[in-house]
Amino acid sequence: MADMKPPEKEGTLQGLLAILNLEELDVNLFRGQSPDEAWQRVFGGQVIGQALVAASRTVEKRRCHSLHAYFLRAGDPSVPILYEVDRARDGGSFSARRVIAVQRGKQIFNLAASFQTGEEGLEHQDPMPPDMPPPEELKTQEEWRQEVAHKLPPDLRSHFTRPRPIEIRPVAPRDMLQPQKAPPVQTVWFRVREKMPDDDGLHQCVLGYMSDMTLLDTAQRPHGISWMNKHLQVASLDHAMWFYRPFRVDEWLLYHQTSPGSAGGRGFNLGHVFTREGQLVCSVAQEGLMRVRPKSSRK
């Protein structure tokens, strides 16, 4: 994957690509940075994307077809993240990689990824959900947030409404500040706002980043609660992706998400990503912490 230029501005595609443009320190060793944002921990999608970048840098002429990851500790955005790649195997058709993300000498994340040489094979897929409105008929997530942002303190309001390189258009949005109980299903259209380089591997890494933006919210819907509730502790615990065929993240993709169940302070979520033409390009699974603290407990 080609190196990218430094970011021109926070919230732009250039800024996102710069975050994914890891510094190569040695063979199989890379360093990643976090954006300068007022956030207490590293966004999980960032670590997924960066770890996949690290793995991809050690593979030639093969595309990732699956990844499985665990979040072990909260990442500190003020500290660089080191990514150590283990070239587990290079076979005739498949290559396996293991990636460990480290901060201050401790693992915060690990990922196993498998890459495959392109080949033809038997194909079938679930259909895209029917009767989905086109993205042009829907409000953006930013527009929905602007409508309720006046209810927040000024410091939180700026973070809540900050510009992002990913455009999200919810099909059935809900008020994050006063959520009502709803079925554990949500669907969004999303895409990168600007033109991306023609690099299939980079599009996979960016989708890894995007796939963690809304998925965990799905398990919260039937409980009438959201991550904005100060008594709810949420965090990604694991994340898995299966890539079926090439796609572009700078074109509209439909992300259909469901939550089969939750228990033990954890919520399980599934997602399927379709092109606008209805072609299934990726499936996602994630379990996340969803712990309700007693109101009397400290933060």
Active site residues: 212, 236, 286
Query: Phi-psi category of 131—alpha, beta or left, where left has phi over 0 and alpha has psi -120 to 50?
Result: left
Query: Phi-psi category of 172—alpha, beta or left, where left has phi over 0 and alpha has psi -120 to 50?
Result: beta
CA 250 to the chain's CA centroid: 15
Residue 277 makes CB contacts below 8 A (sequence gap 6+) with: none
Going by C-alpha positions, the residue among 77, 70, 79 that lies closest to residue 48 is: 70
Sheet holding 253-263, edge to edge: 23-26, 29-32, 81-90, 94-103, 106-116, 63-71, 232-243, 280-292, 266-275, 253-263, 185-192, 166-170
Helices within the chain (DSSP H only): 13-20, 44-56, 141-148, 154-160, 200-210
Going by C-alpha positions, the residue among 169, 171, 196 that lies closest to residue 185 is: 171
Secondary-structure percent of the chain, ordered helix, strand, coil, rounded to 5: 20, 35, 45
Residue with tokens 């996340």: 288
Residue with tokens 């796609």: 247
Residues 39, 76: Cα–Cα separation, whole Å: 9
Going by C-alpha positions, the residue among 70, 71, 55, 72 that lies closest to residue 114 is: 55
